[in-house]
Amino acid sequence: MITLHKYVLTAVALAFLITSCKKDDPATPDPAPVPAVSNTTLLIEHHIDDVPLTYDTLRYTNAMGHMFSVTRLEYYLSEITLLGTNGTQDLVLPGPYYINGTAGNRFDLGTLPAGEYAGATALLGLTAAMNQTDSLPNTTENINMAWPVPMGGGYHFMKFEGHFLDNGTSNGYAMHIGRNENLPVCTMPEPFTVASGGEVVLRFNLNQVFREPNVYDLSTGNYSMGSMMLMGQLRDNCANAFDIGYRP
Amino acid sequence: MKYPALLLLILLASCTRKNMEELGPEAHLTTPFEIEPPHYFPVLDIPANNPLTEEGIELGRRLYYDPILSTNGPLAGRSCSSCHDQVTSFSVPTEGTAVLPHVNLAWSQNFLWTGKVNGGLEDVMRFEVNEFFQVDVSVLQAHAVYPGLFERAFGDATITNEAVAKALAQWFRRLVSTDSKFDRYLQHTEMLTDQELSGMMIYLSETGDCFHCHGIPLLTDNAFHNIGLDASFTGADQGRFLITGNPTDLGAFKAPTLRNIALTAPYMHDGRFATLEEVVEHYNSGVNPSPSLDPIMTKPGQITQLLLGPQQKADLVAFLETFTDDAFITDPELGSPF
């Protein structure tokens, strides 16, 4: 919130300064004011391909062919950057956002510059600067995301847990990602237009985490936390797991 | 005689000025009470309509220790403290359903083993007052001192169930434990032994993997898990399933805090383990798979064992013993006012 408002304010102040400097020069016309849209929200949604996520029995199938369920989904999103086009500039949303699959995950964005955007990028997790023990406020959520100091400190970027069927037996999986080397950088190349007040919607397709470039095998990768190899696979798979759109 | 009393009044008034200003001229005089836990504790959410005051805490404390609270109810003759004794972290050894301790519940959102009550302390106190004790407020109202104490705490001598719940909630917020040996280690004022440090490494890594559900500093994640005590579930052992009806909650119980865990044997919701060694052995080799087993209980390679050696198990127990807070269990301010 604060960062965004600061951003907009700075932009306005800068625009003001620039225009006032240019006033003496009769040859340059005043730049058109950037229209802004108020009452915007950020909404994070979770899907398994086309089906909205429900916490339920084994009902989804992943790329490896394992039936699976989801019992926990918690993660951070930070440095969400709306990519500007000719008319708009890159805009970094405040954050980090703590996301829980059981929550509403709606965040007030206030006023956004209107116009066309080329898509977005985001970190599924925390920047190296934030990923240090005690760097986030001690909310109960953040505390439960802590990555213990003996394992390197900082925070879990993501906890994605549930059950899967392996040769007829139901078993648990816990795909946890942490440590700076494993930070997923997500790209969302979908262009969108911010017009009237509405929602910037980020959609996380959880099945993508199992799909590409690595077909993730839960029977050998049921527990990722101690394995840089497994966390690296998950990092790469998360890169294309989000898409973005705007709902007026 | 008149003058010292006046002085006291002025002093009192100056202490309580803040509350007066906030609540307006109609407000009664109360003394704000601050809880200042170490920096690594989460922020305390205190509802605006029940600010912590010395008067409220003192009233809650008295109600907690007074068997009058159960008069005419199903637990007549008992006080909260009959089952929640300070020396054992406000719990007591029992047969059947284990008594949960009252420690650091100010940070809790899920109460009772099955999470039957969610929300804040006021919510669970409403349950305790209205359903468990079925408090008869007319008894308190007729008492010689209680109406005056409620007046002092809440500005109203009329005693309601809601006021009783609020006073108890304030008392529960006061039951904060932050001075275990492990806290002093975190604050760099005391060192752990080599054995305790070794146990800490097991606890805080995948070797023992305790931190996922009993993380620092609350030593609970406030969530529900089936830790594989049984392979199939009947009766009370169905746990959270009895509340939600969701098959994935079969056998799941609230992860209790491990603060003062060395003092609160026997262990688990039904007190099935007598010692911490037995608890550790459960995690090490006794986990029963079932479809609702918490995912965290399945370790790399799809095994449900930790494969700790005898020394590692002893080290882990030694570390669990550093969660004992002697100051908390001996603090006279937390003891009976009678």
Looking at residues A153-168, what average pLDDT do you find? 96
B221 has a chain A CB within 8 A of its CB: yes
What one-character DSSP code corresponds to residue B284? I
The Cα-based distances of B319 to B38, B262, B277, B322 in angstroms read 20, 10, 12, 5
Nearest to A18 by CA among A8, A28, A27: A28
Q: Cis omega before residue B217 (within 30°)?
A: yes
Looking at residues B264-283, what average pLDDT do you find? 98
Looking at residues B145-165, what average pLDDT do you find? 97
- Alpha-carbon distance of A199 to A246, in angstroms, equals 6
The Cα-based distances of A46 to A102, A206, B37, B123, B295 in angstroms read 10, 7, 37, 31, 20
pLDDT of residue B7: 42
pLDDT at B21 over 80: no
pLDDT of residue A17: 38
B42 has a chain A CB within 8 A of its CB: yes
- Alpha-carbon distance of A107 to A43, in angstroms, equals 6
Q: Place B14 in a pLDDT band, splitting at 50, 70 and 90.
A: very low
A3 has a chain B CB within 8 A of its CB: no
Looking at residues B232-261, what average pLDDT do you find? 97
- Taking the CA of residue B204 and the nearest CA in chain A, the distance in Å comes to 6
A171 has a chain B CB within 8 A of its CB: yes
Tell me if A139 and B40 make a contact (CB, 8 A cut-off).
no
Tell me if B204 and A225 make a contact (CB, 8 A cut-off).
no
* pLDDT over 90, % of chain A: 77
Looking at residues B27-52, what average pLDDT do you find? 92
pLDDT at B299 over 90: yes
* pLDDT over 90, % of chain B: 90
A interface test, pick of B299, B305, B315 with most A CB neighbours within 10 Å = B299
B39 has a chain A CB within 8 A of its CB: yes
Looking at residues B251-262, what average pLDDT do you find? 98
Q: Place A27 in a pLDDT band, splitting at 50, 70 and 90.
A: low
User: Which residues from chain A sit within 8 angstroms of residue B319, using beta carbons?
Assistant: none
pLDDT at A12 over 50: no
Instruction: Write the residue in A71, A146, A151 that is nearest to B248 by C-beta.
Output: A71
Instruction: Write the residue in A57, A150, A171 that is nearest to B298 by C-beta.
Output: A171
User: Which residues from chain B sit within 8 angstroms of residue A151, using beta carbons?
Assistant: 204-206
Predicted TM-score (pTM) of the model is 0.90
pLDDT at B24 over 60: no
Q: Place B1 in a pLDDT band, splitting at 50, 70 and 90.
A: very low
- Alpha-carbon distance of B288 to B283, in angstroms, equals 10
Tell me if B300 and A222 make a contact (CB, 8 A cut-off).
yes
Structure tokens at A245: 């759109």
Q: Position of tokens 């069927």?
A: A165
DSSP code string of B234-270: -GGGGBTHHHH--GGGTTBEE----TTGGGS-SBTTT
pLDDT of residue A31: 57
pLDDT at A62 over 80: yes
Q: Position of tokens 């009393």?
A: B5
Closest chain B residue to the Cα of A166, Cα to Cα? B302
Q: Which domains does chain B have, with CATH numbers?
A: 28-176 (1.10.760.10), 181-327 (1.10.760.10)
Q: Place A29 in a pLDDT band, splitting at 50, 70 and 90.
A: low
pLDDT of residue A30: 57
Contact residues, A window 72-111, toward B, CB-based 8 Å cutoff: 72
**DSSP bridge partners of A122:** A186
Looking at residues B177-184, what average pLDDT do you find? 98
Closest chain B residue to the Cα of A145, Cα to Cα? B212
8 Å CB contact between B38 and B218 = no
A/B interface, count of CB pairs below 8 Å: 85
Looking at residues B212-219, what average pLDDT do you find? 97
Over residues B105-128, the pLDDT tens digits come to 999 999 999 999 999 999 999 999
Over residues A96-144, the pLDDT tens digits come to 999 999 999 999 999 999 999 999 999 999 999 999 999 999 999 999 9
Q: How far, in whole angstroms, is CA A79 from its chain's centroid?
A: 8
User: Which residues from chain B sit within 8 angstroms of residue A172, using beta carbons?
Assistant: 293-298
pLDDT of residue B202: 98
Q: Residues 6 or more apart from A202 whose CB is under 8 A from it? A: A42, A43, A44, A45, A77, A80, A120, A122, A188, A242, A243, A244
Ramachandran angles phi, psi of B285, nearest 5°: -145, 0
SS (H, E, C) chain A: CHHHHHHHHHHHHHHHHHHHHHCCCCCCCCCCCCCEEEEEEEEEEEEECCEECCCCCCCEECCCCCEECCCEEEEEEEEEEEEECCCCCCEECCCCEEEECCCCCEEEEEEEECEEEEEEEEEECCCCCCCCCCCCCCCHHHHHCECCHHHCCCEEEEEEEEEEEECCEEEEEEEEEECHHHCCEEEECCCEEECCCCEEEEEEEHHHHHCCCCCCCCCCCCECCCCHHHHHHHHHHHCCCEEEEEEC
pLDDT at B330 over 80: yes
**DSSP bridge partners of B252:** B239
pLDDT of residue A57: 82
Ramachandran angles phi, psi of B91, nearest 5°: -140, -175
Closest chain A residue to the Cα of B219, Cα to Cα? A144
Q: Residues 6 or more apart from B190 whose CB is under 8 A from it? A: B181, B184
B28 has a chain A CB within 8 A of its CB: no
Instruction: Write the residue in B39, B43, B205 that is nearest to A150 by C-beta.
Output: B205
Instruction: Write the residue in B43, B293, B298 that is nearest to A138 by C-beta.
Output: B43
B216 has a chain A CB within 8 A of its CB: yes
Instruction: Write the residue in A140, A146, A172 that is nearest to B294 by C-beta.
Output: A172
Over residues A169-228, the pLDDT tens digits come to 999 999 999 999 999 999 999 999 998 889 999 999 999 999 999 999 999 999 999 899
The Cα-based distances of B202 to A25, A157, A158, B205, B242 in angstroms read 71, 22, 22, 5, 33
pLDDT of residue A22: 39
Looking at residues B233-260, what average pLDDT do you find? 97
Instruction: Give the dihedral of Cα atoms B262, B268, B274, B278; nearest 10 deg.
Output: -90
User: Which residues from chain B sit within 8 angstroms of residue A171, using beta carbons?
Assistant: 289, 298, 302
Looking at residues B16-43, what average pLDDT do you find? 73
Nearest to B255 by CA among B246, B242, B266, B268: B268
